[in-house]
Amino acid sequence: MASYNALDNRSPYGSGDPYYSASTGYIAPANVKKPLSKWIKFGIPVAVVVVAGAVVAGVLASRHSNKSSSSSSSSTGSPAAASSAVSAKNAVGIFPTATDSEFMVPIYPSTTNAAAFSTPTYNPSNTEFAWPKDPFAFPSNPSPTSLRSDRPRLIAPKYKWDALPGLIANDPYLKRWNDTIFGNATTYFSLPPVQYHLDGASGILDNAREVKMRIKAFAYVYRMTNDTKWVDRTWQEIQNAAGNGTTSFGPSTDKWNTVHFLDTAEFSAAFGIAYDWLYDVWSDEEKSQIRFTLNLYGLGPGVSVYQGDPSGVGWWSKGVYGNWNCVCNGGLTLGSLAILGDDTTGNAAALLGYTINNAKQNCALGPSQDGTWNETANYWYFGTTGHAEMTSSLITAAGDDFGLLNANPNFNLTGLYHMYAFGPTSLFNYGDHGPNKFSTTANSMTFYASQYNAPQYALFQRDQADAAEPWSMFWYDPTISGAFWNGAPLDHFFDYAGDQWGSMRSSWTDINALYVAIKAGSLQGHQTHNDLDCGDFVLDALGTRWAGELGSGDYLSLDYFKSDAQNATRWLYYRKRTEGQNTVLVNQANQDVSAQPKITHDTSGTAQGSSTVFKAPSDSTAYFVADLTSAYFDVTSFSRGVRLLNGRQQVLLQDDINAQGAVMWRMHTNATVHVDSATSATLTLDGQTLKMEILNAPSGAQFATGDAVRLNGDPALPAGQSDQPNPGVTVVSISLPAGQYSLQVLFNPQWPGLQTSDYVTPSSVPLSSWSLTSHN
């Protein structure tokens, strides 16, 4: 897979995106082959040895050695007689056995391994796996301009590089990531330097992040090999992004595009990493050139932002609790820390006087009081990557986080947000999805795990497809043990009024698990990245997504981000309109942006245990009910509820509504939909089947299907604007005239081995009377 948006293979930029093909969606850059089979194995087969209840290190080690010599410590020069703890760890290996090629999620073995799948824990006394203590004695009153004396300063100090080969030998995850980074660096090596092109978000952010991704990999491999060809290749990329390469790179001034300051910041981070990680090999002349370019196009404009912002490009520094603030302050901070002491302009020291306080007041508030990211679940990646890079660099360079970790007392909950937003197949990706990822990953989870002592975050992330990159080599604490799912509640509800969403599932380790996530929350205050989507839900089961999201519109559309007021142009685009969501439409109108829904919910509190083989008890359930009356203009009352039935094998979605306008229930699906009768439909997707049924159907209620396009009678789009096409998506709908209804839709995934008689038909219970036992 490529590191751009692994979670969404449609381009948010449509045909303007170089990686977008109208027929196949995202296409990988030429060098990256798209996997063909759905069930593709990792290159290195790694088996989790199944020995229920009897994990004897010696036994495991000897079994392992019969299996595969390439996945163990034996190839990496580990001590001849590895300890039994090392042998046992290497024998267990990587938990997942494969990655699903469609959704890029880990496939876990069906096993019980009580020793390995234990409670998430750090075991710092386990010295064979532990990082050494930082030998540098920071001053007791740390200052962001009083830095460690050795290099590197950013994220990966020398003592960690020195310890890394030994730790790689003792840890199968580090070993895999190291191999992958080498492989990726080798791929990038043979590519021409990143070509300048304007991407789909008014800038050159893709360029900046691709340069940063490459430089991280090149510098990593250099430091692990001492082979200067990697330094030369880094220099080529640096020269190119400075406009000194063999092909032109942007305009003659403002090359890093300060008008879209994210670009400026990501280039600054890239140059900072190159400067710092390769400090000892650059000549003085090269260092001076890097500093010159970094100051000219990056840090100088950064200082201007903080000293009056004469060009007005610094709006992100003024009250923006979102990814822009984290990425911009983060990039400026990495660039500044890298050159501080060598910088003769004063920019680096000046910026360190601004960025940290600004990020504490803004970026750090990206997660709300329940951990939900202010923008969307996909923008969480950008925001937390910026925050984690900045905080980690300050800790390694200056010995302190300067309040970035605790300025928001609930920041540590944002890892929970990510885990619960991640369904068995993909993210609950409501709202905009953001630009291509490149250097952005979910590895902030690994950093936060250590900083907040939340080992489950690192255990969750280490199995993901985007885990392998240089940051995780240094953020990962290999003394970790256990399984993230052990003891993890299946459900979580995010209560803060601005967010209000719920996540319910049947297993943490089964790609086939059932998963429902649903939201209410406010329709403003999300940096104009949300949709008008109160009541919107996604549904996973049987290894695929049945009810899904359409994602971003075209970021270059007229006034796409301009306003989130009721009459905003943004709300004219189908993917942002209420009709483009999996919710109820009344009078064919958008929801009321001033909605203040109220939610109730409950859960049986079921948590998964040690085993990956998990079946919820038959009375295990959860529900979420949102009073959405305030989200509509033409209802006197409306509540939407969703609940799990029959031991989490079925889902009931119920709308109790009294509407003065026509009611239209809508759901977007990639499935092929066959309407069997007025009240039943059969959906097929990825070789699986899901049946939908309208229960206690109000007179006239019947399933219909249509295309995911704007409805006749919608207000016109601005001249020259168009909606993104939604190829392959079908809208399942139920239309009713104004009136009072309880509209109940039952979802029955056709689980293998389950007979028709094994499915339940719930009785009709008003949402106001729902409880954990109301449908028994």
Ligand X SMILES: *[C@@H]1O[C@H](CO)[C@@H](O)[C@H](O)[C@H]1NC(C)=O
Interface with ligand X (CB under 6 A): 1-3, 8-10, 32, 76, 165, 168, 178-180, 182-184, 187, 224-226, 238-239, 242, 244, 289-290, 292-293, 319-322, 368, 374, 412-413, 416, 452, 454, 498, 522, 525, 545, 548-549, 565, 567-569, 668-670, 729
Q: Which is nearer to ligand X, 306 or 452 (CB)?
A: 452
CB of 637 to ligand X, least distance (A): 25
Beta bridge partner(s), residue 539:
516, 547
CB of 506 to ligand X, least distance (A): 19
CA neighbor of 335 nearest in space, from 384, 286, 381, 301: 301
DSSP string, 132-174: PPP-----SS--TTS--SSS--SSS-HHHHHHHHHHHHH-HHH
Rounded CA gap, 286 and 111, in Å? 54
Q: Which is nearer to ligand X, 124 or 183 (CB)?
A: 183
Q: Which is nearer to ligand X, 178 or 336 (CB)?
A: 178
DSSP string, 606-649: -B--S-S-----TT--EEEEEE-GGG-SSEEEEEEEEEEETTTT
Rounded CA gap, 430 and 572, in Å? 17
For 431: left if phi > 0, alpha if psi spans -120 to 50, otherwise beta; the answer is left
CA neighbor of 244 nearest in space, from 176, 298, 203, 196: 196
Only one residue has tokens 């007025």, namely: 678
Can you give the length of the chain in residues? 776
CB of 534 to ligand X, least distance (A): 13
CB of 262 to ligand X, least distance (A): 16
CB of 669 to ligand X, least distance (A): 6
Q: Which is nearer to ligand X, 108 or 321 (CB)?
A: 321
**Tokens found for residue 768:** 């106001």
Q: Which is nearer to ligand X, 144 or 431 (CB)?
A: 431
Instruction: Name the amino acid, one letter, at 134.
Output: D
Give the DSSP H/E element, type plus range, for residue 414.
helix 414-421
CA distances from 91 to 98, 569, 612 (A): 17, 57, 18
CB of 522 to ligand X, least distance (A): 5
Q: Which is nearer to ligand X, 216 or 775 (CB)?
A: 216
CB of 254 to ligand X, least distance (A): 15
**Residues 6+ away with beta carbon under 8 Å from 221:** 181, 182, 185, 227, 230
Q: Which is nearer to ligand X, 554 or 656 (CB)?
A: 554
CB of 220 to ligand X, least distance (A): 9
Q: Which is nearer to ligand X, 418 or 668 (CB)?
A: 668
**Residues 6+ away with beta carbon under 8 Å from 653:** 537, 640, 641, 642, 744, 745, 746, 747
Q: Are the CB atoms for 431 and 571 separated by under 8 Å?
A: no
Rounded CA gap, 374 and 226, in Å? 43
CB of 600 to ligand X, least distance (A): 20
Rounded CA gap, 539 and 555, in Å? 27
Q: Which is nearer to ligand X, 399 or 548 (CB)?
A: 548
CB of 29 to ligand X, least distance (A): 8
| Position of minimal CB gap to ligand X | 548
Q: Which is nearer to ligand X, 8 or 723 (CB)?
A: 8
Give the relative orientation of helices 261-277 and 323-339 as an angle to the nearest 10 degrees: 30
Q: Which is nearer to ligand X, 126 or 289 (CB)?
A: 289
Rounded CA gap, 484 and 100, in Å? 19
Rounded CA gap, 536 and 35, in Å? 31
**Tokens found for residue 418:** 């990510």
Q: Which is nearer to ligand X, 168 or 586 (CB)?
A: 168
CA distances from 758 to 543, 606, 650, 697, 748 (A): 21, 21, 11, 22, 11
For 402: left if phi > 0, alpha if psi spans -120 to 50, otherwise beta; the answer is left
Rounded CA gap, 755 and 49, in Å? 33
Please tell me whether residue 228 adopts helix, strand or coil conformation: coil
CB of 237 to ligand X, least distance (A): 10
Q: Which is nearer to ligand X, 231 or 398 (CB)?
A: 231
Rounded CA gap, 253 and 290, in Å? 16
CB of 239 to ligand X, least distance (A): 5
CB of 598 to ligand X, least distance (A): 16
CB of 253 to ligand X, least distance (A): 12
Q: Which is nearer to ligand X, 121 or 660 (CB)?
A: 121
Strand order in the sheet with 492-494: 492-494, 501-505, 515-519, 537-541, 544-547
**Residues 6+ away with beta carbon under 8 Å from 56:** none
CB of 293 to ligand X, least distance (A): 4
Q: Which is nearer to ligand X, 101 or 750 (CB)?
A: 101
